[in-house]
Structure formats: C-alpha cells, structure tokens
Chain A
Amino acid sequence: MTNPFSTEAAGLQGRHNAETIFKLSGLTAIVCAIGFLVFMVGSIAWTGSGALRESHVQLSIDLGPEKVDPSNVEAASYQTIVRDALKERFPEVTNRRDRRKLYGLLSPDAALELEQYVLDNPSVVGGVADIWLLASDDLDIYLKGDVKTELDESRRKFSDLEIGLADSLVQEGQTRRQFNTRFFTNGDSREPELAGILSSLIGSFFSLLVCFVISFPMGVCAAIYLEEFAKKNRVSEFIEVNINNLAAVPSIVFGLLGLAIFLNFFGLPRSSPLVGGMVLALMTLPTIIIASRAALRAVPPSIREAALGIGASKIQTTFHHVAPLALPGMLTGAIVGMARALGETAPLLMIGMVAFIADVPKGILDSATALPVQIFLWADAPQRAFEEKTSAAIIVLLLFLVLMNLLAVLLRRKFERRF
C-alpha cells in the first residue's frame, strides 16, 4: 500500500521546489546585501583608522640664550630655531632645494607648537632639549607605509632624498606615532595633518538645532491640525498629496529655494547654520508631518471617543490624550528626519556652507560648514593625506547616524504602548 501522505505524492515535489528556490534566492539576496555593507564599512574604517594616528619627529633643539631671550621668550623666531635644528640633524643637506624638502618633513605648525611648548615649560630655555614635533602629512604617509617606493621617483611626491632622511630618523628612533586628538579638536586646515572635524561638527550641530526647533513644532502642529481638526475634503486631500510629494523632492531643490528666499530675499547671513538649518527644516518638514500623522492615526479612536464622550472639547481631547500618546512616534519620526538632515550635503552647497571654514562657529550666525560638506571638501582636496581624513570623517558621520537611529529605536521601545 502506498502512503497517501508521502512526500512523493503527486504535485508536491513541484511545490517544494518552488519554495526551496524562493528561500535560496532570498537568502542569497540577504547575504549579498550584508556582504556589501561589511565591505563598505570595513574599507572606510580601514582607510579612516589611519587618520586617528599622527607622526612626530624628535629633534634636539638648541634653545640657548643666543636663540631665545630668557626674559622675552615670545620674541624668538621659532621657525628659524626649528630649521636650524633640522639643518644640524642633517648637515649633509646643503642644496637650497633639498633644504626645502628637509624643512617639509615637519608640519608648518611645528614652530608654533615649539613656541607653545617653550611657553609651557620655561625650564628648557637656555639649553638643548629633545622635543617631539609634528611631522608633515607627506612624512606621515611614508611612515605609515603608504608610499609606493618601488615607483620611479618622478612618479611620486616623496622623493628619494626625503625617503633617505625619513629612514635615518626612523633608525635613530626619532619618530613616533600617537593618537591624533587634533582631528577632533581642530577646524579645517589646508594642511592635512592639522585638519580636524570640530568646526564642521559644531556647524552640523547648530544647523540641526535650528532645523529641529523649526521643523518639529511646525510639523507636529501641521500633523495635528490635518489629522484631528481639518475636514476631510478636496483641499485637505490636495494638501496631503502635496506633502507626500514634497518628501520625495530632491534635496538640492530645497537648497535653491533657500538661496532664493532666505539669502536673496530676506538677506540672511550666507553660509550660516541659521540658513542651513532653515533649509534642512524645509526638507525635514514633510518627513515629520508624515511620521506624526501616522503616529496620530495609530492612537485608537476609542481614546478620542472616551474623552469626547465625557464632554472634553476637541482641543482637550487632542492635547490631553491623543498627542501625548502619539508623541513617541512623532519624536521617532523627527529623529529619523534629523538623521537624514545630518547626512544632507546638496542643499547646504546651494546656500554657501561649502566655504573653507577653519574657525569653530560660535553661534548660528557665524559662517560654518557641516560634516557631510566637510567630507565632500576633503574628498575633493588634492593632498593624499586627505583620503584618510575623508574616511575618518565618514566614520564619525556614520557613528552619529547610528546613534540617532538607536535613540529613535530606544524611544519607541520605551514609550510604545499597546492597546
């Protein structure tokens, strides 16, 4: 007797095959997606990790009385002192052009750093001291092993002479690498070894602050009005369709709008986080309205009926019961919108936040740039060393995005109610 429930029953094989094929293709898709993600994040992290380390060179520096006047330390020419120290370390370099290459081993900021060091440690004045000074970006790259020495000299920036000098320093143990705090405490700079993300980070922070302050109340009020008060008719339908459309408008269009209205018509300060935040608010507004409306719709009608049934007015019902229940959803939507705004570059280009800003902005009216724009600027910069800075800045940006999304998830978990 054959088993009527056997897997060989007529027609079953085909169905099982279809299921297996579908499962396999789904699994492949997920594996591919995860693979791409890991590859992308991994390569960025690999490149970016270099920017977190900087190289220093140790020189014995003569701070004798003929170089630095002990009674007037600030008057000394530290540039000359540093150069003299280099010349002394490498007396074999005599040619003018080679000398310039020698000086180029150190960052232009080394002299300033030395001055600061001397001011902080007055005891070193009058003698010879071994002091660590910041290396230039080219030396830094060489020390990290990223210079292709096998290439012909004419095809690389770091010449044979420089390689020789660097190797000599390494042999004597006069180089070291340490954690790069400058990257987090400096503003932008033309010198890669000095460039940092602080100014753009603060710029982004101010922009997002303005964006949130404008778009959250406005978006929530609009959503509450549309969802709870507005009559459902042609006009409200038209508005709804248009809000949904606005959410899909390319962000650069909002930048153009901001340029035309905020800058050209109202004459607000160019490149400022105020205008940047306003433009981002325009862009975020539809997202917040849509999320807030969804959150309001998720509040069960029975709550509204309960309040209205005991004689609460419409506005009491909304603000005592419905809005508080929808608030976590609204906040989540707002944070997701903010996260999108944080990563936005295009509209900020239109309103001039793409300028080279080395100073950390002190308020929303100062000129500033934003983190994604900084990434764009660095990616565009000619120096090799900016490559790793770009990646490091991307990591910071991704980190903030992950944090914001995490916050949204946590908020939702914490305040979510089941009805």
Chain B
Amino acid sequence: MLNNSVESEKKMAEVETALNSDGPIIQAKDVSVFYGEKQALFDVNLDFEKNQVTSLIGPSGCGKSTFLRCINRMNDLVDIARVKGEIIIANQDIYAKDVDVVALRAHVGMVFQKPNPFPKSIYDNVAYGPRIHKTVSTKDEMDYVVERSLKRAGLWDEVSDRLDQPGNGLSGGQQQRLCIARAIAIEPQVVLMDEPCSALDPIATAVVEELIDELRERFTIIIVTHSMQQAARVSQKTAFFHLGNLVEHGDTDQIFTNPQDDRTENYITGRIG
C-alpha cells in the first residue's frame, strides 16, 4: 500500500513535468466512438497546444461534444459508449488500463452546457474539489483557494459578501462563472467547456468570453460552441467537425478566412448546419 502510494506520487510528479513541458499537451490519435452499433466519431486525429483556446465547431450531432467528453472520459458514464484509439495527455494514454478517471479529471476539468452548481453554498461549491482531492489542509488555505478561484472566475466582487448563500440563487451567468471557479479550484491543466454560454444571455456571454481569454494564461482550454462568432472571438485554434469526422483544423483566422474544405466553407457561411 505504502509502496503503491510512493509509486503513484512518482507518477504524479512525472505527469506534472510532462504537463509543464512544451509541445502539444493533448494528442488524439485515431479516436473513434461508438454508441452501441452506431459510430459517432471516425478516426479523429487532433493535437492541442498548451495555453491556447481551441474551439470545436460543427452542426448539431457532428460529434464535437462526444469528442470533448472523451478527453476527460465523461463518456464512461454512458453504458453503451465505446472509445477506440488513444488520447495522450502528458505522454500517457488516458484510456490505458491503469488510468484512474478520478486522477485524470483532477487534471482535466470540465464546465457544462447548463450551469450546474451544487445545491450548496457558494463557498462549498468552490471548496468541494480541493476538499475531495485533499489539495488543501487548513481552513485558511481553503479560504485562500476559494477566494483565488472566485477572483480568477471574475465572480469574487459580486459574491464575496455572501459566500454562505446557495449557489443556485445566483443569476445564470454568475452560476456559470461559479462552475468555472469550481473547475479551476483544483488547478487542472486543461479545462473543457461544453457550450458554456448556450444558456446565457448576450451580456453574461460577453463576461464569460472575456474570462475565457484571461484563463488562457494558466490553462489550456477546449471549448465546444455552436456560435461561430464566439469561436472567432475566443479561440486561437479551431477544429471543424461534420458527421463524426474531423474535417479541418488550424488557426482560427485561417479557418474563418480561408477554409480549405468545401464543407467548412459551407458551414461558416451558413449554407449547412
């Protein structure tokens, strides 16, 4: 048992160094996803750079959310889902047998489409991650982590005087920023966002987009979005999915101004999708 923990600590250290080195932080190799008999994703190969925002765009049902959920293995929750291929984070295939999803998700956080704060206080929402991963030990440290996370999520000024109020009592945009604060409280390397603004009004969306840009300094962000304008605004890289295939990926400017594939062009000009 002791041996094990020493080994796992060693491994963690390895992961940390690998994560901090340069080069692509995530590499997807021939990733295919099946829901039962139906194949939803076909041999996707895609690299993600560190400290960049990558947008996954495409029409509904094109597999972009499915792909995003492969990166922190949320697809494990779907009984009939089956993933083929490799996703390599920090030189480690996350679909290998010895990978614990709990440890993986501590490094790859996620923000969902609908704001889903826990029905607990704002403080407890943010503190939950550090608490279960035991990354902080004292109350003061926890206070600090909560404050830092809320500040990074741009929510501190609005809620600092009511941390003990329930998180569901906030407005939609505030709730989503609370969810972001919750995700970054455990200092993941990667933050996955699944249409984080689709349930928000334009003003709240603008705040969250601004926040995403700021978060890029510390985290690698992958965002699924339906709004091409949003992709153009927040991301440096864009990948276009269509019918389960990765059609094209590259710098956002290039995708939007000079797409190589007809399907991409048709999509961004509004002819399909």
Contacts and interface: CB of A to CB of B under 8 A. Distances in A.
Contacts of A300: 116
A3 interface: no
Interface string B114-145: 10111100000000110011000000000000
Contacts, number: 66
A306 B179 contact: yes
Contacts of B82: none
Contact of B112 (A305, A313, A325, A417): A305
Nearest to B105: A311
B74 A310 contact: no
A316 B102 CA distance: 11
A311 B119 CA distance: 18
B140 to A, nearest CB: 22
A227 to B, nearest CB: 13
B90 interface: no
A309 B105 contact: yes
Contacts of A306: 112, 116-118, 179, 182
B118 A310 contact: no
B183 A309 contact: yes
B103 interface: yes
B44 interface: no
B102 A309 contact: no
B79 A232 contact: yes
Interface string B178-191: 01001101100000
Interface string A277-321: 000000000000000000000001011111111111100100011
B77 interface: yes
B207 to A, nearest CB: 20
A311 B117 CA distance: 15
A89 interface: no
Interface residues of A, number: 20
B117 A309 contact: no
B220 interface: no
B132 A316 contact: yes
B110 interface: yes
Most buried by B among A306, A316, A320, A417: A306
A312 B102 contact: yes
A107 to B, nearest CB: 61
Most central of B117, B129, B132 by chain A CB within 10 Å: B132
A231 interface: yes
Given A310-B129, A311-B132, A325 B183 contact: no
Nearest to A305: B112
Interface in A200-248: 231-232
B119 A309 contact: no
Contacts of B133: 311
B224 to A, nearest CB: 14
Given A303-B118, A417-B119, A309 B72 contact: yes
B119 A305 contact: no
A302 B102 contact: no
Contacts of A308: 74, 77, 105
B196 interface: no
Nearest to B113: A302
A313 B132 CA distance: 9
Interface in A70-120: none
Contacts of A303: 116, 118-119
Interface string B81-122: 000000000000000000001111110011110101111000
Interface string B133-163: 1000000000000000000000000000000
Given A310-B182, A312-B102, A305 B74 contact: yes
A310 B77 contact: no
Interface in B184-217: 185-186
Interface in B50-88: 72, 74, 77, 79
Nearest to B115: A302
B116 A310 contact: no
Interface of B: 72, 74, 77, 79, 101-106, 109-112, 114, 116-119, 128-129, 132-133, 179, 182-183, 185-186
19 contacts: A232-B79, A304-B77, A305-B110, A305-B116, A306-B116, A306-B182, A308-B74, A308-B105, A309-B74, A309-B105, A309-B111, A310-B105, A310-B110, A310-B182, A310-B185, A311-B101, A311-B129, A311-B132, A321-B118
